[in-house]
A and B are shown apart, each in its own frame.
Chain A
């Protein structure tokens, strides 16, 4: 069981590894060491549910040590671990097959930003609740007229003494209907230049004047919402940083976002029940141990080789970051490439499954649950290279920041 007094953060790397492994072995419930389906992921928040009692126990035990956010300071609910220790913890968790106890924009995006530029009061109010999974955060970035051209946000936040009066319209807000709070890019100064007049505002989604409308996607699901704001009063103290600092905060947060999307799709990959080669063996057939369709076999191998090289790149990036204290230039390609790989994987799975990839509903009547899932996942993956910065924007960033090509 958890030993709250044990101070892991003081241990040297080898002792830490041993202690972490021992703790994980005795505290991670066996069912939390299995690959997790999409609908079993724990996102936290007041509207969140646990698919099993073990998922709840696992979150509580990890949160008690601060290991939902291993590198955050202990005072804000973190584990107080060094980067190296956090890497070791991640390795040990992967080694044992432990699920991540909690996901969310609070952990991966807002938290790092608040630690960086948040006021003490903001940190104290929000970070511990994020770390424990009590509040689920939405990201209020895109608007109808601000997609790839994100700095074009128009949602207005007008300072009225002790509060901002907010009016506007956010779109592509992931799971806003399941979230409690939203961090928004807002136009605080319409007279200032496009990038200057933006603020970064924290808004309680329970505030009067907010309406959340889910958007139905091509896969039949509603992962994204529109959020409408009409004369919403937000306390002025909820502005993060200075009123004109929103854009630089936004860019910083996008870096965290790309990193976490890339990491999420990696974990997501491990959760998928059907491997490409299993689907192909069953639906295409094989002779002498080789898939019967030579072209599909070549395409699957090309994908798996790229994936192997990408996994090595991920490891190299983590090791470079640990060695140099900051990520190297290769970090700029990770979100782009993770999305491309996921799209390729699902297209190949569809190609391999043949007609079994195209069932819309009717489990047991011709299609297995996993096959129906594949159909939806394939369609959902089309957004991978659009959400969180499109492929084209990612390539622009590589060209500009890494390669130094001129504007």
Chain B
């Protein structure tokens, strides 16, 4: 394994970048916003991405997937980050597919994976019960019934919850210790009785929804439980979520930085390019350092996931923490360095700030991941 992209990986990266440049530039996001598109993303675009095999990056060929692996998917997410392309890559291709591949029975895989690969099924992970990321659900509960499960609880701000037709719901199975199988992950169709969704329009124009579960009755076969289940399965999913968002962050931060650098070279004041001022040069150089650290952290975390390395879990937090650091620095500096124009809706740089802050919060901010890292390595 290597932290340098292989020629095959470079092809995936270049293909993805060309695709998003052409099909989903920032102007497409603006258009979705301006027409108040209820989905917040383009279904025809996702259909075409599915045809290219991108929905099935993680899905075995037996279920119709392309099985390019998480390395390839991370490059696609990075490319999507550069143009702020709103797509189901994260919720469906990464998390939905991972949940089924890591925790689904043959029957569950046969039922859901072909539709995931074709772009027909959209997934959303309904995890958090509160405003901040917590790795385990605290209030949503799953109780045993004679022939299955009964779910009750509320999940606010489920990413892509407004468009998903299948939710993967994390719930407490009993009231005891938060370990082992005290948590279950359940496949819950949006149309199941007792499920209600309230969509929210978010600052980054992505769709999110509050999902209320009221005595939702599910069969035995609703739980994801093989080969991994419970806290173990959830932890594996979360590691991938952290790495996936870090990959998207890398693309976003790199593009915001490139645009700002270009602006520093073009914008003239006092008769010179403002990029000639040392006060700005040093800040640009510091952004470069943060960006390159993030790039290495993402590559290292992806590699560790692919290898199933011992430190994969800790590196997932290294990547997400560095993503938060880089997004914070670069998204703020890019507005400041653009000056007044950076604060206008007309300029695209503001879209990067909005998405940056949402990614930072999603699945744990920098302080969450520093704490998680410390706990993982023993202090």
Bitwise interface map of A from 316 to 360 toward B, beta carbon under 8 Å scored 1, else 0 = 100110010000001001001100000000000000000000000
Complex Cα gap A39–B314 (Å): 34
Beyond A281-B379, A395-B282, A405-B273, 12 additional pairs, beta carbon < 8 A = A300-B374, A302-B370, A305-B318, A305-B322, A306-B322, A308-B314, A309-B322, A316-B296, A399-B282, A405-B261, A405-B276, A406-B276
Residue numbers in A under 8 Å from B329 (CB-CB): none
| B297 pairs with A312, CB closer than 8 A | yes
Complex Cα gap A16–B61 (Å): 38
Greatest chain B CB density within 10 A among A291, A304, A402 is at A304
How far is the CB of B9 from the nearest CB of chain A, in Å? 12
Q: Is the interface of A mostly helix, strand, loop or mixed?
A: helix
Greatest chain A CB density within 10 A among B289, B294, B367 is at B289
Greatest chain B CB density within 10 A among A308, A315, A336, A337 is at A308
Residue A373 at the B interface, CB < 8 A? no
Chain A interface residue count, Cβ-Cβ cutoff 8 angstroms: 42
Complex Cα gap A400–B276 (Å): 9
Tell me the residues in window 253-285 of chain B with beta carbons closer than 8 Å to chain A beta carbons: 261, 264-265, 272-273, 275-276, 278, 280-282, 284-285
Complex Cα gap A313–B321 (Å): 16
Residue A301 at the B interface, CB < 8 A? yes
| A277 pairs with B379, CB closer than 8 A | yes
Residue A41 at the B interface, CB < 8 A? no
| A403 pairs with B261, CB closer than 8 A | yes
Tell me the residues in window 271-327 of chain A with beta carbons closer than 8 Å to chain B beta carbons: 277, 280-281, 286, 289-291, 297-298, 300-302, 304-306, 308-310, 312-313, 315-316, 319-320, 323
Residue numbers in B under 8 Å from A330 (CB-CB): 292
Residue A115 at the B interface, CB < 8 A? no
Residue B245 at the A interface, CB < 8 A? no
Residues of A near any B CB (own CB < 8 A): 277, 280-281, 286, 289-291, 297-298, 300-302, 304-306, 308-310, 312-313, 315-316, 319-320, 323, 330, 333, 336-337, 392, 394-396, 398-400, 402-407
Chain B interface residue count, Cβ-Cβ cutoff 8 angstroms: 44
Residue B300 at the A interface, CB < 8 A? yes
| A333 pairs with B292, CB closer than 8 A | yes
A-B CB contact pairs (8 Å), 15 listed: A290-B374, A301-B371, A301-B373, A305-B321, A313-B292, A315-B300, A316-B4, A395-B285, A395-B286, A396-B278, A402-B285, A403-B281, A403-B284, A404-B265, A406-B275
Residue B177 at the A interface, CB < 8 A? no
Residue numbers in B under 8 Å from A336 (CB-CB): 289
Residue B378 at the A interface, CB < 8 A? yes
Complex Cα gap A297–B272 (Å): 45
| A289 pairs with B294, CB closer than 8 A | no
| A319 pairs with B2, CB closer than 8 A | yes
| A403 pairs with B370, CB closer than 8 A | no
How far is the CB of A180 from the nearest CB of chain B, in Å? 38
Residue numbers in A under 8 Å from B318 (CB-CB): 305, 308-309
Complex Cα gap A407–B3 (Å): 33
